[in-house]
Structure 1
């Protein structure tokens, strides 16, 4: 049994967080699930404390989930982890990589710069420009810059008499309007899983008949999917923009070819288990242990 001390940053009681903590405990005998709401940075002593444990004394921190939802405050929590990173603690994934993906716009611009195909997207603070974009698209999804699992997303249509009001209401809480053309997904999109930059598996998310999106949060379910080599290469290129140790690339198959919706900073394990029959937590831990042991011997 390894004597490595690896903490899991996550949501106590949540399935993916506990599954990873269970796997780490089985391999190392050490278990620590960290709720960032209870972490204290003491700059005078250079300690990062969680319930008496100085996180800078650990061998590694694995960030499974840093908050229930993304907000600008999430970036503050990553800054605290950056303190541990500077102290020599290996953080999976690196904090610089996580920071790129908390703000949807930052991630989108990185993917676009790499030439990754994405849905038609407009970003503006102008309500007039936003309304024009919706009319060009016919139907669009308004996406908050800080959100996960389709939370806060709003479907709007060009022929809706209340479009102007809908845009104004959305802009009240989201001044920078992120507008993406609604695609016909036939009720399905894909989650492509990578560990250490290497392809692991792909599952499909199939939406319920009552929802316009496919998220499990909205009643979707997981199913197996076998991608071809070209689709895997697209996912690989997308995730390579961010240097993540574990991630899921969200891909949709359209009439004009595949497009990437986003790359997840904190990909889940359940899709791989239920859709692919693969224990992604164990695969991820294999990568973590290999990385840490290699670092020790260098």
Structure 2
């Protein structure tokens, strides 16, 4: 008889299937069952229950949704509901804040963590947009507040370029614009992985020639990079402030201000791919161990609490 049961939805590409196999095996060795493939896209809610692949999700002792590229509004809606009933990793409240770039930057800044200078402007505030580009030396970056992989991020240089964009902006259905000062940096970043409050791994990313985005999906390349303690501490603090159990914190060095800044906090940071492991990026086992430890503690805490209530 198992001590607890957890659910998992894991991405399959880039070595995801092998990562899933190791997680399931490690949990089994600790007498914890694991139901896999629980994609909430296939779920239905009725009679006070969310059912996915014939599994009543509320009967799980923990659930991990680890697939960044296939999250629909339907899935997130059910994820939010499920998070009220059982432990979800990441917990939905922290997940929803971290998925919003403005909310993330605002919260981090209130806790003394440096991010790029930012502004949130109403879509009709053309003067506010122009003032931002003046204040920031003629360069700014527009970012959708949600999304991943650098999609929709645009650098705007000069008021002339902004004037050309304003007619297009007026026709969009966006309610506001999130803007950041363009950071003078060396076109590389740190991706720092944190699980359960622990540093588990890091690698660097470099933007392609004649570009400034380091995201791999935007053409960036990955390289071995060891962070110093300042970078690790910053990543852990940012993760804790947001209340996440798992994060991948993107950090760059601002040459103008002479400090590290948190560029973004990712809620579903990928494990190293087989190709990246061949480069020497070998933190997957540490990350798996930390995740399994977190799942075990979380699931057993729920079962012990339930047992106490029943007794």
Same fold (TM over 0.5): yes
The one of the two structures with greater contact order (alpha-carbon pairs below 8 A, sep at least 6) is 2
Partner of 1:58: 60
Partner of 2:75: 77
May I ask how many residue pairs the two structures share in their alignment? 289
Contact 1:117 1:259 in 2 (8 A): yes
Which runs of 5 or more structure 1 residues have no equivalent in the other structure?
none
Deviation at 1:47, TM superposition (A): 1.3
Contact 1:7 1:32 in 2 (8 A): yes
Contact 2:194 2:248 in 1 (8 A): yes
Q: Compared with structure 1, are the counterparts of its residues 86 and 146 closer, same or farther at alpha carbon in structure 2 (3 Å cutoff)?
A: closer
Residue pairs, 1:177-196, within 5 angstroms: 177-196=177-196
Partner of 1:127: 126
> Which aligned runs of 4 or more in structure 1 are off by greater than 6 angstroms?
none
The partner residue of 2:40 within 36, 55, 62 is: 36
Residue pairs, 1:92-107, within 5 angstroms: 92-107=89-104
Contact 2:79 2:92 in 1 (8 A): yes
Q: Which has the higher mean CA deviation after the structures are superposed, 57-66 or 198-207? A: 57-66
Find the aligned partners of 1:35 and 1:210 in 2 and give their Cα distance. Answer: 39
Q: Does 1:112 align with 2:109?
A: yes
Find the aligned partners of 2:176 and 2:52 in 1 and give their Cα distance. Answer: 35
Which runs of 5 or more structure 2 residues have no equivalent in the other structure?
306-311
Deviation at 1:86, TM superposition (A): 3.4
Find the aligned partners of 2:187 and 2:173 in 1 and give their Cα distance. Answer: 28
Contact 1:66 1:77 in 2 (8 A): no
Find the aligned partners of 1:167 and 1:266 in 2 and give their Cα distance. Answer: 34
Deviation at 1:106, TM superposition (A): 1.5
Q: Secondary structure at the match of 2:202?
A: strand
Find the aligned partners of 2:76 and 2:35 in 1 and give their Cα distance. Answer: 21
With normalisation by structure 1, the TM-score equals: 0.86
The partner residue of 1:284 within 279, 288, 291 is: 291
Contact 1:8 1:62 in 2 (8 A): yes
Find the aligned partners of 2:202 and 2:68 in 1 and give their Cα distance. Answer: 24
Q: Compared with structure 1, are the counterparts of its residues 10 and 135 closer, same or farther at alpha carbon in structure 2 (3 Å cutoff)?
A: farther
Q: Secondary structure at the match of 1:226?
A: coil
The partner residue of 1:264 within 251, 263, 266 is: 266
Find the aligned partners of 2:155 and 2:270 in 1 and give their Cα distance. Answer: 25
Contact 1:197 1:243 in 2 (8 A): no
Q: Does 1:18 align with 2:25?
A: no
Find the aligned partners of 1:147 and 1:133 in 2 and give their Cα distance. Answer: 23
Find the aligned partners of 1:58 and 1:244 in 2 and give their Cα distance. Answer: 20
Partner of 1:232: 232
Find the aligned partners of 1:173 and 1:19 in 2 and give their Cα distance. Answer: 42
Q: Compared with structure 1, are the counterparts of its residues 37 and 16 closer, same or farther at alpha carbon in structure 2 (3 Å cutoff)?
A: farther
Deviation at 1:259, TM superposition (A): 0.6
CA shift digits 1:232-265 (9 cap, x unpaired): 2222211111221111111101222111112122
Deviation at 1:52, TM superposition (A): 2.2
